Amino acid sequence: MSHKTSAARRAAFFAALRETGNQTIAAERARVSRSWVQLQRSTDPEFKAEVAAAVAEAKVRLSGAASGKPPARWGSQDGEELVLRGGRGKRVQIARARLRQWTPRLEERFVRALTATCNVKMACREAGLSYASVYKHRERWPDFAARWDAAIPAGWKNVDAALVWGAIALFDPEVEPPEALGPMSVDQAITVVSVHQRRAIGLGKWPGARRGG
C-alpha cells in the first residue's frame, strides 16, 4: 500500500468510524484490514487516540437515535443487514444484525401484520421473533413504539372487516374476503375482540393500558 493510498484509506476509515463507532465495519468500508488497524493502534499513539475520539463522537451521535434503523447509507454491508446496537450503558454502534435480532426489515413485517390483524402474537409469528422480545424492542426504540401505536387503529378496522365478512359469508359462502383482512380468520378476529373487551376494563398488560374498571 503506497503512502498516498494509506493516507486516503486512513481518512476513509476514520470517517466511517465517526459515523458507526464500529472498527470492524469502518475497516471494511474503507477497504483496510483489521490487522492494519490493530497494528496502527499498537504502534502509533496518535492513531490510538484518534480511534478513541472517533468512537466517542459516534456514541454521542447515535445515542440520541429514536429508531434501531441506521442511516440509509449504513443499511447493509456486503449483503448483510446492519442495525443500531447498544444503549442503556452499553456502547452504541452500527453493527451486523445477529441471528434472531430485530432489524428494520423485520420491523416492517411486524407492523404490516399488526396493521392487518391487530394481534401482537400473530405479528410476532409473522416476523419470526418472540412475543417477549417485541416488548423489549418497543421499550428501547420510541419510533417503533409510535409505529406500533399507529397500527392499532388500522388493525381494528381490519378486525371489523373480518367480522362483517364472516357474517356475510354465512349466507353467501362464495363472497370474497376483504383484501385488507390479511392472514386473519374470523375465529381469530373474534379472539382479538374478546381480548380487547378484557383490556377495556383494565385486565391484562399492554402498551398504554388503562388501569381499573
Q: How confident is the model at residue 54 (pLDDT cuts 50, 70, 90)?
A: very high
Residue 159: which CATH number? 1.10.10
Q: Looking at the structure, do residues 110 and 87 belong to the same domain, yes or no? A: no
DSSP string covering 3-38: HHHHHHHHHHHHHHHHHH--HHHHHHHHT--HHHHH
Dist. CA 172–CA 140, nearest whole Å: 47
Does residue 213 fall inside a structural domain?
no
Q: Looking at the structure, do residues 128 and 49 belong to the same domain, yes or no? A: no
Give the pLDDT of residue 201. Answer: 41
Q: Looking at the structure, do residues 192 and 132 belong to the same domain, yes or no? A: yes
Does residue 209 fall inside a structural domain?
no
Does residue 82 fall inside a structural domain?
yes
State pLDDT tens for residues 179-203: 544 555 555 555 555 555 444 444 4
Does residue 15 fall inside a structural domain?
yes
Q: Looking at the structure, do residues 84 and 110 belong to the same domain, yes or no? A: no
Percentage of the chain beyond pLDDT 70 is 69
Q: Looking at the structure, do residues 23 and 74 belong to the same domain, yes or no? A: yes
Question: Listing from the earlier edge strand, what are the strands of the sheet with 76-77?
Answer: 76-77, 80-87, 90-96
Dist. CA 17–CA 58, nearest whole Å: 7
Q: Looking at the structure, do residues 125 and 86 belong to the same domain, yes or no? A: no
Angle between helices 104-117 and 142-171 (to 10 degrees): 40
Does residue 212 fall inside a structural domain?
no
Q: Looking at the structure, do residues 126 and 73 belong to the same domain, yes or no? A: no
Place of cell 409510535: 146
Per DSSP, 68 falls in state: S
pLDDT at 34 > cutoff 80: yes
pTM beyond 0.85: the answer is no
State pLDDT tens for residues 142-168: 999 999 999 988 777 766 666 665 565
State pLDDT tens for residues 61-118: 998 888 889 988 999 999 899 999 876 666 789 999 998 899 999 999 999 989 887 8
Q: Looking at the structure, do residues 15 and 69 belong to the same domain, yes or no? A: yes
Give the pLDDT of residue 176. Answer: 65
Which residue range(s) make up the domain with 160? 104-200
Average pLDDT over residues 23-44: 95
Specify the number of domains making up the chain: 2
Q: Looking at the structure, do residues 109 and 176 belong to the same domain, yes or no? A: yes
Per DSSP, 204 falls in state: S
Does residue 53 fall inside a structural domain?
yes
